[in-house]
């Protein structure tokens, strides 16, 4: 986990949940979040699959979720189903290494913010992440 105090440097801190069963992907995403150059710094928590992700979602509040589509014990679409039942409106960026049109359509119909193919374009990911946390901040402001 990236320590919040190490990356804050005067920027607002946003909580990110990275859910992926590939440790190398998780490390790469953690490293990328530490160097993105926009108005937010990130406090990162990780989960190796959907079951661990649901436990984290019950325990903590996140500003955005980076969610792998295909994982061993529980995949991303199942996590989205559970999030709907839990009435969680956290922005989700769905990550995938597969080009499955039906799964992509299912994820989009469940309200994900964006579908991000692997390997990642880090500039695109930085832009989408900024949009995701900004949309979360706007959604939580009083009307």
In 22-135, at which residue ranges do the beta strands (DSSP E only) sit?
40-47, 64-68, 92-96, 114-117
- What mean pLDDT comes out for the span 24-48? 91
Residue 79 included in any domain: no
Residue 66 included in any domain: yes
CB 118 within 8 A of CB 96: yes
What's the token pair of residue 52? 């661990």
Residue 63 included in any domain: yes
Looking at residue 67, its pLDDT comes to 96
Residue 45 included in any domain: yes
Residue 88 included in any domain: no
* 110-121: pLDDT as tens digits: 889 988 888 889
Residue 55 included in any domain: yes
CB atoms within 10 A of CB 33: 22
* Residues pairing with 46 in the sheet: 18
Looking at residue 111, its pLDDT comes to 81
Looking at residue 56, its pLDDT comes to 97
Task: List Cα–Cα distances, 114 to 6, 59, 60, 125, in angstroms.
Answer: 28, 25, 22, 10
CB 25 within 8 A of CB 53: no
* 52-79: pLDDT as tens digits: 999 999 999 999 999 999 898 899 999 9
Domain assignment of residue 61, given as a range: 13-21+40-73+129-136
| Tally of domains within the chain | 1
Q: Cα separation of 91 and 23, whole Å?
A: 23
CATH number at residue 44: 3.40.50.2300
Residue 50 included in any domain: yes
Residue 119 included in any domain: no
Q: Cα separation of 18 and 52, whole Å?
A: 11
């Amino acid at each position: 986990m990236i320590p919040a105090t190490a990356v804050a440097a005067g920027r607002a801190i946003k909580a990110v949940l990275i859910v992926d069963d590939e440790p190398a992907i998780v490390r790469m995403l953690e490293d990328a979040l530490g160097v993105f150059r926009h108005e937010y710094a990130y406090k990162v928590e990780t989960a190796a699959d959907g079951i661990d992700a649901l436990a984290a979602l019950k325990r903590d509040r996140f500003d955005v979720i980076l969610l792998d589509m295909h994982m061993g014990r529980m995949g991303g679409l199942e996590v989205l189903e559970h999030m709907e039942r839990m009435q969680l409106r956290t922005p989700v960026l769905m990550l995938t290494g597969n080009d499955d049109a039906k799964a992509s359509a299912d994820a989009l119909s469940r309200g994900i913010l964006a579908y991000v193919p692997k390997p990642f374009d880090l500039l695109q990911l930085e832009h989408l992440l900024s949009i995701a946390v900004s949309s979360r901040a706007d959604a939580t402001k009083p009307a």
